[in-house]
Structure 1
Amino acid sequence: MGRGAVDMETPDTRLIYLGAVQGLFLIALRGRLSPAAREALRAEGLDLDQDLMPAYAFTSWLRWQDIILRDVWPDLPRDEAFRKLGRTVIDGLLSTMLGRVMATAARTLGPRLGLPQLDRGFRSSNNFQCTRVLVERGPNACELWINDIADRPTYYVGLLEAVLGAMGARESRITVLRHEPPGCTFLVEWRP
């Protein structure tokens, strides 16, 4: 079993499902990773020349993200690279078969109705994250809580920007309100 594969003997049972891995590595980053990065991923349990597994350990996913940052955006400050990675993950995920269905539903609902449903989207890509709209701050703003962000708030800023774009928002602004590890509350604002 590769290092990134699910090892049920480890205490961390947080899993990232196939769609997220497929969307990021086989679609969004297709042709963008250097041979050195592909080898580093292989050493960390993700062999992109083999069939993907149904799920991978979240700790592996985090290590793979660090490899991507160094390879794809080496000259950007770490926070900006994480923001770009968050957007890239959503772009790739929405290009999968399941993602296209989710994108159609998201655009139909729009941000106001779609953000409360975001929890379902997270559940389709992993087994541990949940989201909740805490407070609506008007027709185009809310406070959104995510239970576990792995201490990577700017990654989730980029992810939420891409999600809002998929929901039809023309402009968005995501602000970290409270980072209380492992969770975080964001102020999500958009222009329809």
Structure 2
Amino acid sequence: MSGTLPLRAERRRVVFDHTVEGLFLVALRGRLSVTAESSLRRAGLDLSKKLLPAYPFETWKHCLEIVATDLYPHLTRPQAWQEIGRAMVEGMARTVIGKATVGVARLLGPLRALRRLEHTLQSADNYVEARVTERSPTCVEVWINEVMGQPTYYQGILEACLSMTGAQGGRVELLSCSGGSASFRVQWEE
């Protein structure tokens, strides 16, 4: 097979421990049922032990499904995932890494903080890519490559991020969802 390039092995998609910490050990601490904690253990996330450095994408996605079912049975699936996205950011903001990120975001303001969105999201895992297209000084479109089939999770993340920058009158609208990706319009008042 000379002249043929070898197929490159696909990189294993993982979520980093501080992301898991922010959601499960900070934002959701004491809120999950015993049944949910048992389901999380079976899925590969044992909250009674020291966290692993990273968790596989599929484990993370399954664990978020467990949270949606346990904490938000009264909401629609999209609403539950949106609440988890908000909780994720709120929990991350109370971790060591998150406190520094929030401080910088407040100094930068909404537009400049959103320009750094891809970097911010990549600190949580090794597979999410984002593109931010500026439409005006108070409006951007955000494309995210992998939304786990739950775009409202990232809608909740973007809403919480916008709020943490000090933006007033923030709104996040899902524009499209195709394959694993989604696009959002993010707006705020001047």
Deviations 1:75-128 (A, max 9, x none): 111111111010000111111100000000011111111101011111111001
Aligned counterpart, 1:5: none
- Distance in 1, matches of 2:53 and 2:135, equals 39
What's the counterpart of residue 187 of structure 1?
185
Q: Take 1:11 and 1:43, find their aligned partners in 2: how far apart are those partners?
A: 26
SS of equivalent residue, structure 1 residue 188: strand
Take 1:170 and 1:38, find their aligned partners in 2: how far apart are those partners?
A: 37
Letter in structure 1 aligned against 2:166: G
Deviation at residue 11 of structure 1 after TM alignment: 6.5
- Deviation of 1:178 after TM superposition, in Å, equals 2.2
Structure with higher Rg: it is: 2
- Runs of 4+ in structure 1 deviating by more than 4 angstroms, as ranges, are none
1:1-192 correspondence runs (5 A): 13-134=12-133, 136-192=134-190
- Any unmatched runs of 5+ in structure 1? 1-9
Q: Distance in 1 between matches of 2:68 and 2:150?
A: 13
CA contact 2:85–2:153 (8 Å) conserved in 1 = yes
Query: Does the Cα contact within 8 Å between 2:170 and 2:186 map onto a contact in 1?
Result: yes
SS in 2 for 1:103: helix
- Amino acid aligned to 1:123: Q
Give RMSD over aligned pairs. 1.4
**Unmatched segments (≥5 aa) in structure 2:** 1-8
Deviation larger for 61-70 or 163-172: 163-172
* Whole-angstrom distance in 2 between the partners of 1:116 and 1:29: 29
Measure the CA separation in 2 of the matches of 1:11 and 1:35.
36
Q: CA deviation at 1:190?
A: 1.2
TM-score (norm: length of structure 2): 0.92
Q: Alignment partner of 1:125: what SS?
A: coil
Letter in 2 for 1:105: V
Instruction: Specify the alignment match of 2:3 in structure 1.
Output: none
Q: Distance in 1 between matches of 2:75 and 2:183?
A: 25
Percent of pairs with identical residues:
39
Shift of 1:191: 2.2
* Corresponding position of 2:6: none
TM-score (norm 1): 0.91
Cα distance, 1:170 vs structure 2: 2.4
Deviations 1:113-152 (A, max 9, x none): 1101011111111001111112x22111011111111111
